[in-house]
A and B are shown apart, each in its own frame.
Chain A
Amino acid sequence: MEALYAFCVGVLTAAGVFLLLRGRTFPVVVGLTLLSYGVNLFLFATGRLNDGDAAVLGAGSDHADPLPQALVLTAIVIGFAMTAFVVILAMRARGDLGNDHVDGRVPEIVLDSEERN
């Protein structure tokens, strides 16, 4: 389970970082979302992966660490609010700047003479 979990976190983070480096706002926003999913899973795993543990003290011999769950809930709430904000901001930027590039203008691609032919 550990390997699968770690793989998921890694893939989400890698995909998030890749999309974050794109030039247009939509992939960037999706990248930020994926990155925050990766972060949330990672935070959750800091309480160690185990199943069948009691959530409440005294209900069993082993109990799950409650703190990562609290942390991840906070992170989810904050991340959701921030994503909502950045979506609105990206739409506003599309309206104000006339295009959806993060720099506000689409860079002109200069082709080499070979490519032009």
Chain B
Amino acid sequence: MQHLILLSLVLPLLGGLLMLLPPFNASRVRQRNFALVLSGAALLISALLLQQAQQGVIGVYALGDWAAPFGIVLVADRLSTLMLMLTSVLAFCSLLYTFGPRDEDGSFFQPLLQFQILGINGAFMTGDLFNLFVFFEILLIASYGLLMFGGGKTRTRAGLHYVILNLAGSAVFLFALGVMYGTLGTLNIADLAFKVQQVDPSEASLVRAGGLMLLIVFGLKAAMLPLQFWLPAAYAASTPAVAALFAIMTKVGIYAILRVFTVIFGDAAGPLSHIAGGWLWPLGLMTILIGAIGVLASQDLRRLTANLIIVSVGTLLAVIALERESATAAALYYLLHSTLISAGLFLLADLIARQRGKVGDRLVPGRGLGQNRLLGALFFIAAIAVIGMPPLSGFVGKALMLSAAKSVAEMSWLWPLVLGSSLVALITLSRAGSTLFWKQSGKPSEILRANPVQLLAVVLLLSMPLLLSVFGGPVTQMMAATAQQLHDVQGQIGSVLQPVTQLVEVK
């Protein structure tokens, strides 16, 4: 059973490679069906891992059986298995969506999707900063391919920005890793957390510089304020299934911020504890603001959704900046909700666009939709969840996050911005909904029906907020336990690093 941890990486890797070979490479239908089997297996594996991690045991898989600070380890704790499960659900729904009429062209789409999943899973599972870099590169190179799938001017332009920015980000990442290794002599996250406690005061400022450089890189991935300009164009340009899967990509950055700045530079780090909070707090708040402005200015539904992602990223970063267990738990709940719902909105936007003919998802009056009531109802549910109105999980998440702010200063910044951005979302989504579904300039020329499998993908994603709020009690308990485990730095160090074994002198 312990090899299950590795299987979550090996499965998409081998699956993706197999798809490039006969008999799969010739037939896209066969590739798709095989991918569905893989995705189902991935769901099962992540559910098992999540269930194991919920017992409170941190699963550590030492690759090649080399003990932790020397060898490479994969760590399956509550947080990483939770993110793994989220990725699997999202990947399953995105994959279902490719079963639709406008199948993504080319025989490399499904393999790229698998490599993308490999990169994301790896980034969540790794217990080592250099491997985090490697898995970042895997998920990035797959995402470059996926983003530009289908070609075209807008995709090329958005892709060029995305690729160049991320390459510059990788360079900064390597500089940061060099500084960390040069000063602390390790790159294993648990070992770093241990070494940073006894860092030489003369080198503390170097370590701080390295840590803050990591914040730049993860901020770029998460779309934090000065580094978020690539996101709306890139997400709005990609194909719908890809955009839905990309909803998890910003969360990879947020996960990395959580992991590095709670475990390595957390409570126990002495002079270097909480180095990120002072930066994250203002930047997160400003990200909410700029996201809200972007939401107001959006001319089409997909760009609107992309800007809503920026708002949710800003909210998450500001709450994480509180660096408190209850705040982390609230942020994790909201992270689940916002990832699933923004993916659902991207897919729904495509369903709507497809029935509107030429106007697509632009927010202008157009022909009526074939399934006005059905899609209207789905849009209504999605809008309520995104805005954060009861009874769906957006409300629960936002209420939890608001109550995580304790002092007056925190409340007076966080509350107006979170509530104000919700109001902006309410206004914009009402305007969008009434334009799309009520201001129609005529009957549809032919009754178009949504593909049932694609509809199933959207319904699955949109039912998640409902499930998250119906099972709100158990889920919030789970998040509290996850946050508690994450903040328990000594516990993590203890379970990842084996009791220090004596190094055998080699003669």
Contact = CB atoms under 8 A, between A and B. Distances in A.
Contacts of B360: none
Interface stretch (B40-48, B155-163, B262-270, B434-442): B155-163
Contacts of A39: 171, 174-175, 178
A16 B369 CA distance: 52
Contacts of A104: 153, 156-157, 160
B178 A78 contact: no
Interface in A67-108: 67-68, 71, 74-75, 78-79, 81-82, 85-86, 89-90, 92-93, 96-97, 102-104
Contact of A90 (B151, B160, B175, B181): B160
Given A46-B182, A82-B170, A92 B141 contact: no
A97 B170 contact: no
A interface secondary structure, majority: helix
B167 interface: yes
Contacts of B178: 39, 42-43, 45-46
Contact of B156 (A57, A78, A92): A92
Contact of A102 (B148, B164, B181, B182): B164
B67 interface: no
Grouping DSSP codes into helix (H, G, I), strand (E, B) and loop, the B interface class, with mixed when no group exceeds half, is helix
Interface residues of B, number: 29
Interface residues of A, number: 36
B130 A102 contact: no
A79 to B, nearest CB: 8
B102 interface: no
Contacts of B137: 78, 82
Contacts of A89: 144, 148, 156, 159-160, 163
Contact of B160 (A25, A67, A79): A25
Nearest to A35: B171
B209 to A, nearest CB: 13
B199 to A, nearest CB: 16
Contact of A93 (B130, B157, B171, B181): B157
A11 to B, nearest CB: 15
Interface in B130-157: 130, 134, 137, 141, 144, 148, 151-153, 156-157
A90 B346 CA distance: 28
Interface string B172-190: 0011011101100000000
B156 A28 contact: no
Contacts of B163: 85-86, 89
8 contacts: A25-B160, A28-B164, A43-B174, A71-B130, A85-B141, A85-B163, A86-B163, A104-B156
Interface of B: 130, 134, 137, 141, 144, 148, 151-153, 156-157, 159-161, 163-164, 167-168, 170-171, 174-175, 177-179, 181-182, 506-507
Given A39-B171, A78-B137, A102-B164, 6 more contacts: A16-B171, A42-B178, A43-B177, A57-B506, A82-B137, A96-B151
